[in-house]
Structure 1
Amino acid sequence: MEERSVDVVVIGAGTAGLGAQSAARKAGASVVMVEDGPYGTTCARVGCMPSKLLIAAADAARAVDQAPIFGVHPEGKRVDGRQVLERVRAERDRFVGFVLQQTERIPEEVRVRGRARLLSPTRVRVALEGSDEELELNARAVVIATGSSPYIPPNLKPLEAKLSTSADVFEWEDLPESVAVVGPGVIGLELGQALHRLGVRVAFFSPFEALAHVHDPKVSEVVHQVFDEEMELHLKVDAFDVSEAPGEEGGFIVRWHDAQGTPGEARFEKVLVTAGRRPNLEGLGLEQAGVPFNDRGRPDFDPRTTQVGDLPIFLAGDAANHYPLLHEASDEGRIAGGNAANFPDVRAEIRRVPLSITFTDPQIAVVGKSWRELDHEQCGVGEVSYTNQGRARVMAKNKGHVRIYADRDTGRICGAEMFGPSVEHTAHLLAWTIQCGMTVFEALNMPFYHPVVEEGIRSALRSLTGDLRMTAGNAEKLRYGPGT
């Protein structure tokens, strides 16, 4: 068995792994990056990019459906499911190609294909791909960036091979007639609504009431109302069961009891399981390496340093499951790679303000502190409904509700839960204000053009001033500041 000594071993070559090896090499470390699957990130191959391509097709179909509102009457709408999915795959493969080019530019001696497992905190054994040979790597530090995989609930495990996950959708040859979506989280809502708008009969099922991690009661109420008007939602279901449908037609029979205990049954061509993702940590030898676990059974790591306990092991990206988002994975990879290269000189970094976006229509975003994370005695709330917001009505997209939170004493903005048009953009504005430590009054002093959806944010901020413990100085700023 071949043995090699290196400074840093990176396990995984996705967004976090690529960032980690780059940061470690820039710090002067020798690096080996091990990957046991196809190159190409989750985002490019089965996540962010192909899902947005499907949503773009759904947006085009929706625009045709909505055109009569404006007096425009298109004729002969037809959705070619095969063509829709062919474009999704073609553009997806283009994005993956860019990642592959980036990966191939990494020196060959850095890249190793095979399955890695830890023998100790600094020893990694790799079963090399395509052979019976093994490689043992002795390192000063290890970065685990193994990504995540779709989670299949235990009661659906017997049918796992026949069910669809978010990764399978983009490989369908044609759009199905009907789909049952199990789990209306971020991925489930995005894909389910897109399929619905492309003419697929879609129903959502969940034992929970929340949609896409929205927990602010007022925002959640509007989210439920809007999506319930458009799509078939079965929330807080019990006795949920899926079985193969009899006969040549095939498909699946879904049975459930609703929140009132009333039984239901329906047949679907496909069942799409979007019940979340789980870190790829099995078989890595974490216990053998002495990795400490938290009360949720996950490796206990510090998100500021990405270090696991006091070990020379660092965790990044979806494997860390801190904020499983591309920009967070990129940051964590950079932090982990730098700290691994400089171990034991481990440095903490201030993390960016949390920002998550769900690309439904209307869009959903959670910025900074969510409703569940607030100190409700200390935080004031401002809000706006998009029902009569000027630009939203112009576009016939006047559905949604935004709530912004700020410290009652200092006026500093600390979070928001958002549902409405163009939220992917307005959420960034709020994230930037929080990251810069801005107060409500400072944000109101920024320019707001007319007519734009950003004016809705200004309305929510104005509303928020009424829930702060006002001082004379703050009142003066509010009265005379520009843009108010």
Structure 2
Amino acid sequence: MKTLHTDVAVIGAGTAGLAAYRAARAAGKRALMIEGGPFGTTCARVGCMPSKLLIAAAEAAHSAAHTAPFGVHVDGTIRVNGREVMDRVRRERDRFVGFVLEGVENIPAEDKIPGYAKFVSDTVLRVDDAYEIQASSIVIATGSRPSVPPPFLALGDRLVVNDDVFNWEDLPKSVAVFGPGVIGLELGQALARLGVTVRVFGVSGSLGGLSDPAVRQRARRTFQEEFYLDPDARVLSTTRVGDQVEVRYVALDNTERTEVFDYALVATGRRPNVDQLGLENTSVVRDARGVPEFDRHTMQSGASSIFIAGDANADVPLLHEAADEGRIAGRNAALFPQIEPGLRRAQLGVVFSDPQIALVGASYARLPKNGYVTGEVDFGDQGRSRVMLKNKGMLHVYAEIGTGRFLGAEMIGPAAEHIGHLLAWAVQQDLTIAQMLDMPFYHPVVEEGLRTALRDAAAQLERHGSQAALRTAA
């Protein structure tokens, strides 16, 4: 066994791991990066980018099929060639992965250690019985993997997760989707728009991460107009029958139905990759899931020399958060024991469904009880949205009574990815509703709907006597 010495050892070469390695090197320290699987990021391989490629194809098909209301008539049948769709998805996915790999190739070969690492102690790692790495500090950036409930495992190769979808060579005829979270909702709607028979089943009414009951209900009704969706489904059984999956369930009309599908796409969440790291040999305190407890501003676990970043810590599993966390963890691992808090940006989440969903700042579920007002806009009659026939959805903005400070928002509607960014900037700058209304709003744009919601919030704040709401823009 070869013994290596380094200042910082980074376990994992995904988004967080690459950021941690670079931050440690930028701080002037030696760093090693350990990776047991293929190099590249979850986003490029099986996440953000290939899913958006599938969604783009679905949007093209949907748009082509819905031109008549504009007086534009497409003669003939709109045909989706599944092989061509998936060929582009795979080609472009590989291109994005290639960009990541180019960056990895620029890392010195001696800094890249192949194999799976396990802790021997807080400062010692063993890699596949080939290396022993002694490090002053260690960053865990091992990512996550799909979590599949045991009852689905009997479905064998008829069970797929999002990782599998992007390797399809052709589109199937039918798919049952379990889990209407971000992944299930995006892929379920995309497949339905590409001509695949889709049924989406959820539990407890959850949908796209929304916690505001009114916004969630609007989202539910909107999606149900397009494809079968039951966020609070009663699935009686899922059984492998030949090369198909038989699903027995109670439908929305309260009748029992049995249908067969080519695949069951299980999108019921992801599990942090920390269970095989030998964390029991360290001093870190772990939660019920086995994830090390940590400070989200320094990424440090307790007072130890171990830091954790990205999906592995199960905090905010998003690429931009993983990159930020990796930088913070890598820098603090290099500076240890003199660590310092890093910049944590305002929370922002987007679901690339149609209409899109955006979650900004404090969610409805985290608002202070009786200490806020809700401003609302319904996009049904919003000018630009109606012009484009994208007039579906609603936006709720939340403001603090007394200060008028903008707290957060939940939204389903057009241009949610862009409005979400504006609102995230407002949260991070700690703006009040009045200050936001002082900003320019062009005409006619979808963002005028945001102004309507802000004006609604300002009126309610004024009724509560909030001093910050007394000065509002015209």
TM bin, normalised by shorter chain, reads over 0.9
Question: Quick one: distance in 2 between partners of 1:260 and 1:310?
Answer: 55
Q: Secondary structure at the match of 2:63?
A: helix
Counterpart check, 1:59 vs 2:59: yes
- The aligned residue for residue 34 of structure 1 is 34
Question: Quick one: distance in 1 between partners of 2:312 and 2:156?
Answer: 22
Identify which of 356, 359, 364 aligns with 1:363: 356
Q: 1:282 to 1:354 in 2, by over 3 A?
A: same
Letter in 2 for 1:329: A
* 1:153-164 matched pairs, under 5 angstroms: 153-164=149-160
Q: Cα distance, 1:467 vs. partner?
A: 2.2
Counterpart check, 1:135 vs 2:131: yes
- 410-419 or 72-81: which moved more? 72-81
Q: Secondary structure at the match of 2:354?
A: coil
CA contact (8 A) 2:8 2:138 kept: yes
Counterpart check, 1:192 vs 2:188: yes
- 233-242 or 79-88: which moved more? 233-242
Question: Quick one: distance in 2 between partners of 1:475 and 1:331?
Answer: 34
Q: Cα distance, 1:178 vs. partner?
A: 0.5
Q: Secondary structure at the match of 1:230?
A: coil
Q: Secondary structure at the match of 1:467?
A: helix
Counterpart check, 1:202 vs 2:198: yes
* 1:6-21 matched pairs, under 5 angstroms: 6-21=6-21
CA contact (8 A) 1:152 1:160 kept: no
Q: Cα distance, 1:161 vs. partner?
A: 4.1
- The aligned residue for residue 169 of structure 1 is 165
- The aligned residue for residue 471 of structure 2 is 477
CA contact (8 A) 1:306 1:332 kept: yes
Q: 1:199 to 1:261 in 2, by over 3 A?
A: closer
In the alignment, structure 1 segments of 5+ residues that lack a partner are 128-132
* 1:74-153 matched pairs, under 5 angstroms: 74-76=74-76, 77-127=78-128, 134-153=130-149
Counterpart check, 1:388 vs 2:376: no
Q: 1:473 to 1:304 in 2, by over 3 A?
A: closer
Question: Quick one: distance in 2 between partners of 1:380 and 1:472?
Answer: 11
- The aligned residue for residue 424 of structure 1 is 417
Question: Quick one: distance in 2 between partners of 1:454 and 1:418?
Answer: 13
Question: Quick one: distance in 1 between partners of 2:275 and 2:82?
Answer: 37
Q: 1:367 to 1:475 in 2, by over 3 A?
A: closer
* 1:75-474 matched pairs, under 5 angstroms: 75-76=75-76, 77-127=78-128, 134-246=130-242, 250-257=243-250, 262-469=255-462, 471=465, 474=468
Q: Cα distance, 1:239 vs. partner?
A: 4.8
Letter in 2 for 1:457: L
- The aligned residue for residue 130 of structure 1 is none
CA contact (8 A) 1:118 1:125 kept: yes
In the alignment, structure 2 segments of 5+ residues that lack a partner are none
> In angstroms, what is the RMSD of aligned CA positions?
1.5
1:218-244 residue CA offsets vs partner (Å, 9 max, x unmatched):
101110110111111133233542211
Question: Quick one: distance in 2 between partners of 1:295 and 1:151?
Answer: 16
Question: Quick one: distance in 2 between partners of 1:173 and 1:137?
Answer: 42
1:400-446 residue CA offsets vs partner (Å, 9 max, x unmatched):
00000011111110100011001000010000011111100000000
CA contact (8 A) 2:145 2:273 kept: yes
Q: Secondary structure at the match of 2:44?
A: helix
Question: Quick one: distance in 1 between partners of 2:252 and 2:443?
Answer: 45
| TM-score, with length taken from structure 2 | 0.97
1:365-385 residue CA offsets vs partner (Å, 9 max, x unmatched):
100000000013111110100
Question: Quick one: distance in 1 between partners of 2:302 and 2:257?
Answer: 48
Question: Quick one: distance in 2 between partners of 1:452 and 1:346?
Answer: 45
Letter in 2 for 1:458: R
Question: Quick one: distance in 2 between partners of 1:466 and 1:210?
Answer: 31
Q: Secondary structure at the match of 1:180?
A: strand
Q: Cα distance, 1:42 vs. partner?
A: 0.3
Question: Quick one: distance in 2 between partners of 1:260 and 1:50?
Answer: 35
CA contact (8 A) 1:412 1:440 kept: yes
Question: Quick one: distance in 1 between partners of 2:193 and 2:409?
Answer: 28
| TM-score, with length taken from structure 1 | 0.95
Question: Quick one: distance in 2 between partners of 1:374 and 1:36?
Answer: 41
CA contact (8 A) 1:85 1:173 kept: yes
- Matched-pair identity in %: 51
Q: 1:269 to 1:239 in 2, by over 3 A?
A: closer
- 348-357 or 232-241: which moved more? 232-241
